[in-house]
Amino acid sequence: MIRLIQNEWMKLFWRISTWVMAAILLVGVIGVLIYSITNQPSAEQLPSEAQWKAQLEQENAEYQQALEESGSSAEFYEQRIAENEYRIQNDIPPQQATGENVWSFMSTNTALLDLLSIFVIIIAATIISSEFKSGTIKLLLVRPPSRIKILFSKYLTVLLYALGMLAFLFGVSFILGALFFGFGESSAELIYTDGEVEQRPQVLALAIDYLTGSVNFVMLATLAFAISAIFRSEAMAIAISVLLYVVGAGVTSTLAMAYDWPKFLLFANTNLNQYFTSGGPPVESMTLGFSVIVLIVYWLIFMGFAVWMFKKREISVTG
């Protein structure tokens, strides 16, 4: 199995697209860096404690007025008022009052996880179908390893790629952030749950973002991998996988506004970070344990279909 994975890893890195994706991700980080440097205020421009507290009090007055006039958005204003009050009472300045540091820069770069998700989908959707397109699948299957070993070596390669790119994003963000902004004073992230505000260190919040992102990659990779095994077409596998990723979360959230059953859908559970932030899950009855179980069930279904189709189908080369 290890030699099969090594072989798949070598083939993956012989593909120009693999390096193009890494380059695009690097350009994305550099773009965020340039924007952050350009908009970074000097030490003299940072507001004092009295100034940022006065600013938050002014915001709360505006939020309170909007709250009295609002309807469906009342919870939004209540959350903002509670978080501002917590900062004022506990002397916790907002990010704009502390300036940029390596942790805030890395937190900003978590927005690039969406781009990385697309890359993972493309790799997972093409790692099998490309073999059929080029005709190398027949050469691969005449070797002693079973089809199951070949299939799982490809799947594990996709997961290693996803984790490698995630580590690349983390490492580049950390190095550039430390070089240009320093470590500074770590800020705090506030979590609003059931009317209560909790404080979480920025470093811990950052770790949660990246860890939950890795779970998301596993599920997206498995979905795209299964579609690739079923259809054996690069174009179809990429199109279906990306379409599901782009519209899946939005459609699920819309349905969840009126029904409870969408909690069983895949994209209602892929973002485990929803249990660690103020937003919460789309359906109130959902819990972290529930989402983990749902994801395991989906994983078994996806991999079951992939194994079944790859084992039972006659191998023929598609053009």
122 with 94, same domain: the answer is: no
74 with 206, same domain: the answer is: no
Flag whether 166 is in a domain: yes
Flag whether 317 is in a domain: no
Lowest mean pLDDT among 46-50, 129-133, 189-193, 209-213: 129-133
Structure tokens belonging to residue 62: 């505006």
Q: Domain of residue 72: give its range.
A: 42-99
End-to-end CA distance of the chain: 29
Flag whether 11 is in a domain: yes
Flag whether 260 is in a domain: yes
31 with 54, same domain: the answer is: no
64 with 31, same domain: the answer is: no
52 with 17, same domain: the answer is: no
Query: How many separate domains does the chain show?
Result: 2
Q: What is the CA radius of gyration of the chain?
A: 23
pTM to 2 decimal places: 0.83
121 with 178, same domain: the answer is: yes
Flag whether 170 is in a domain: yes
The per-residue pLDDT for range 134-184, each reduced to its tens digit, is 666 555 555 666 778 888 888 999 999 999 999 999 999 999 999 998 887
73 with 207, same domain: the answer is: no
* Residue-level pLDDT at 85: 92
Flag whether 318 is in a domain: no
121 with 184, same domain: the answer is: yes
Within 13 Å and on the Cβ side, how many CA atoms surround 132?
A: 22
34 with 46, same domain: the answer is: no
CB 243 within 8 A of CB 140: no
285 with 307, same domain: the answer is: yes
Mean pLDDT (the chain) is: 84
Flag whether 319 is in a domain: no
225 with 90, same domain: the answer is: no
Distance CA 262, CA 62 (A): 36
33 with 49, same domain: the answer is: no
